[in-house]
Structure 1
Amino acid sequence: MNVVLDTNALMMPVELDVRLFDELDRILPPGYELFVPEAVLDELAKLSSGAGTEATAASVGADLAERATPVEHDAPYADDAVLEVARELEATVVTNDRPLRDRLFEAGVPVIGLRGHNKLERNEP
């Protein structure tokens, strides 16, 4: 199973106290593969150069993204890239971004998002 990570998914451990990889292990079958679009890596790098909690979360997210395979794409923006890569890889996307989730559902892409305070759940479109 292929899984694409969005920017805010990688920032969840700091911002929402979500144990991202433990949760993915809990809800996904063994052997899933993680992917991250290059635009997400760029967005994390920009956000981490600031100050405050968001910068810390982005810095941690950039470190966590090293567990995923980076993917090149043609899309100029991170959300577009997530959708493009998810379609190409027939992947499930991890995101807590409601507008992106809605776009993914419209495209028939399954989404893993926050359920309750710090648990994840998989949702089919």
Structure 2
Amino acid sequence: MIIRSKDKVQENGKNKPVWVLDTDALTVTHNTPDAAPSVTEFSSDHIKYHLHYSAEYRPTRLKKLVNDGTILSYLTELDRSVAEAIERQVGMMLENDTEYLRAVAVGDLAKARGLENMDRQIAREPVYAAMVYV
């Protein structure tokens, strides 16, 4: 889904929207009168899932964020917040994971990394439920 802002800028005799959100390409484009368009690409799963969820269930919110010109800061903050929340959750899980602590103590880094990755996958579910699918 592509959402274009109502506000327009003149470029080469054409009216272009100031902001364009592409929920499939995970990009936000900012057009200004005297400069090349600025395109910001997102690559995280949580942004992809949030945009697809929002396009289906909360399209009015997405349109408002694009029209207000706050979509880029909104997605940037969401990306950072979700990543930090997952890392906090993983840290708390690893502090109490005796198998992980034992693997680190004996220097079995492959096992420790595997357990950390497993905990990261487990941590995603509650974080996504609270922050992404809203």
Tell me, yes or no, whether TM beats 0.5: no
More helix by share: 2
- For normalisation by structure 1, the TM-score amounts to 0.25
Is the radius of gyration larger for structure 1 or structure 2?
Answer: 2
